[in-house]
Chain A
Amino acid sequence: EAGVVQSPRYKIIEKKQPVAFWCNPISGHNTLYWYLQNLGQGPELLIRYENEEAVDDSQLPKDRFSAERLKGVDSTLKIQPAELGDSAVYLCASSPKLVGTDTQYFGPGTRLTVL
Chain B
Amino acid sequence: AQSVTQLDSHVSVSEGTPVLLRCNYSSSYSPSLFWYVQHPNKGLQLLLKYTSAATLVKGINGFEAEFKKSETSFHLTKPSAHMSDAAEYFCVVTSSNTDKLIFGTGTRLQVFP
Contact = CB atoms under 8 A, between A and B. Distances in A.
Interface of A: 3-4, 31, 40-45, 48, 55-56, 91, 93, 99-101, 103-109
B45 interface: yes
B43 A107 contact: yes
Nearest to A109: B43
A100 B43 contact: no
A56 B100 CA distance: 9
- Range, interface on chain B: 20 to 34
A43 B103 contact: yes
Given A43-B101, A45-B101, A108-B43, 16 more contacts: A4-B43, A40-B105, A41-B103, A42-B92, A99-B99, A100-B32, A100-B96, A100-B98, A101-B96, A105-B43, A105-B46, A106-B45, A107-B43, A108-B41, A108-B42, A109-B43
A106 B37 CA distance: 11
5 contacts: A41-B105, A41-B106, A48-B100, A100-B32, A100-B98
- Rank and list the top 3 A-B pairs by shortest CB-CB distance, nearest first: A42-B103, A100-B99, A106-B44
A42 B105 contact: yes
A101 B51 contact: yes
Contact of A42 (B46, B99, B106): B106
Contacts of A45: 100-101
Nearest to A3: B43
A92 to B, nearest CB: 9
A40 B99 contact: no
Interface string B87-113: 000101011101111011110000000
